[in-house]
Amino acid sequence: MNSLLVTGGAGFIGANFVRWLVDNTTCTVTVLDKLTYAGNKASLDGLPPERVKLVVGDICDRPLVDSLVGDCDAVVHFAAESHNDNSLTNPAPFVTTNLVGTFTLLEAVRAQGKRYHHISTDEVYGDLELDDPERFCELTPYNPSSPYSATKAGSDLLVRAWVRSFGVQATLSNCSNNYGPYQHIEKFIPRQITNVLTGRRPKLYGTGANVRDWIHVDDHNAAVWLILNQGRIGETYLIGADGEKNNREVVEEILRQLGQAPDAYDLVVDRPGHDLRYAIDSTKLRQELGWLPQYPCFSDGLTAPIAWYQANETWWREAKDATEATYALQGQ
């Protein structure tokens, strides 16, 4: 692959993917991003202009998408509306971006015979009981529980149908919860880090027992590149680093690394429809493609992102007060 179109490349995982490509490949990258509140042009600052170009636009804009797809070897589709709580307040943007946007991209790569990789989430599988020994695998039935996860599940099924019906050269990946730099502060880990950095106490939803399977964003993106180059067409690969932690453990680790007392947090009202537990079985990815995480230990992987938020207050400070005001209205 010499040239990629990366949708959502100014968002959290997408921007980190673009930076990973610059550091680890010789690819040129065109980023297509609508720059909604979750996209930030500053997340691409400092990248070489001869390698990375930002196009501000909508993935539902077929003429624009057609022109950009024609100039690349492959499309990696990160762009999505992705905040569960927002999907409960207003599902419409999730249907438009996650379903219509994916359809638009699929039709463009179908017409031009281009390679396509689809980024998805483990939330399409619903959730697991806290004491369930099982983990999600590629054969787990879909059971989405929110408009966000339902629209992501629908987008996955569109990709599979376009592979089978039209021979589109596509792969899919479903990943567990990412952490790392450039993540919007509405998300759990950066919210708690920036709470401490601004003199607020971290907020723990419900009892803090809900479990997520955490993976460093660079480990996720290394897996995406591997799947794009070596994955079997039509296949789905689950990406996870065996990083199951409950929310209380995560908050306590953040407090520990920032030199605070481990109980210096507040319990707040639980999130509506809060899934209990996610857990990924990445055996297929590891055995078939030889992928291994660089950060198998969550506490080790968290050190650099905490330092990044400490050193880059200008990136997140403007959004902090507004984000906290929104959460306060929800009792969180």
Concatenated DSSP letters of 254-268: HHHHTT--TT--EEE
pLDDT at site 14: 98
pLDDT at site 86: 82
pLDDT at residue 158 is higher than 90: yes
* Segment 1-10 mean pLDDT: 96
Q: Assign 190 a pLDDT band (cuts: 50, 70, 90).
A: very high
Counting residues of the chain whose pLDDT is more than 70, the rounded percentage is 100
Tokens 């930002």 belong to: 54
Q: Assign 271 a pLDDT band (cuts: 50, 70, 90).
A: confident
45 in active site: no
pLDDT at residue 261 is higher than 80: yes
Torsion of CA 137, 215, 10, 174, to 10 degrees: 0
pLDDT at site 330: 85
Other residues' Cβ atoms within 10 Å of the Cβ of residue 93: 14
User: Does CATH number 3.30.460.10 belong to domain 3-178+215-239?
Assistant: no
Q: The dihedral of CA 162, 164, 166, 167: what is its sign?
A: positive
Distance CA 106, CA 117 (A): 10
* Prediction pTM value: 0.96
Long-range contacts of 97-102 (CB under 8 A, 24+ apart): 97/59, 97/60, 97/151, 98/148, 98/151, 98/152, 98/154, 98/155, 99/151, 99/154, 99/155, 99/158, 100/60, 101/7, 101/58, 101/59, 101/60, 102/59, 102/77, 102/155, 102/158, 102/159
pLDDT at residue 84 is higher than 80: no
**CA–CA distance from 60 to each of 15, 63, 91, 219 (Å)?**
20, 9, 17, 29
* Segment 303-316 mean pLDDT: 97
Cβ neighbors of 218 (< 8 A, separation 6 or more) are: 16, 20, 180, 294, 295
pLDDT at site 147: 93
- Annotated catalytic residue, options 148, 179, 182, 278: 148
Tens of pLDDT, residues 95-132:
999 999 999 999 999 999 999 999 999 999 999 999 89
Tens of pLDDT, residues 52-68:
999 999 999 999 999 99
Q: Assign 78 a pLDDT band (cuts: 50, 70, 90).
A: very high
123 in active site: yes
Tens of pLDDT, residues 228-252:
999 999 999 999 999 999 999 999 9
What's the whole-number average pLDDT of the chain?
Answer: 96
Q: The dihedral of CA 282, 81, 42, 68: what is its sign?
A: positive
- Annotated catalytic residue, options 122, 127, 219, 324: 122
- Least Cα distance to 33 among 85, 97, 127 occurs for 97
pLDDT at site 329: 87
Long-range contacts of 42-50 (CB under 8 A, 24+ apart): 42/315, 43/10, 43/11, 43/12, 43/15, 43/182, 43/315, 44/9, 44/10, 44/15, 44/18, 47/18, 47/19, 47/22, 48/22
116 in active site: no
* Segment 133-145 mean pLDDT: 95
pLDDT at residue 270 is higher than 80: yes
Q: Assign 310 a pLDDT band (cuts: 50, 70, 90).
A: very high
What stretch of H or E contains 224?
helix 217-230
* Segment 222-232 mean pLDDT: 98
Tokens 């639980």 belong to: 270
Distance CA 151, CA 102 (A): 10
Cβ neighbors of 216 (< 8 A, separation 6 or more) are: 178, 179, 180, 241, 293, 294, 295, 301
Distance CA 314, CA 71 (A): 34
Distance CA 310, CA 99 (A): 36
* Segment 252-276 mean pLDDT: 93
pLDDT at site 82: 78
- Annotated catalytic residue, options 123, 127, 244, 281: 123
**CA–CA distance from 119 to each of 208, 228, 260, 308 (Å)?**
28, 11, 36, 25
pLDDT at site 141: 97
Domain ranges of the chain: 3-178+215-239
Where is average pLDDT lowest: 6-20, 152-166, 270-284, 296-310? 270-284
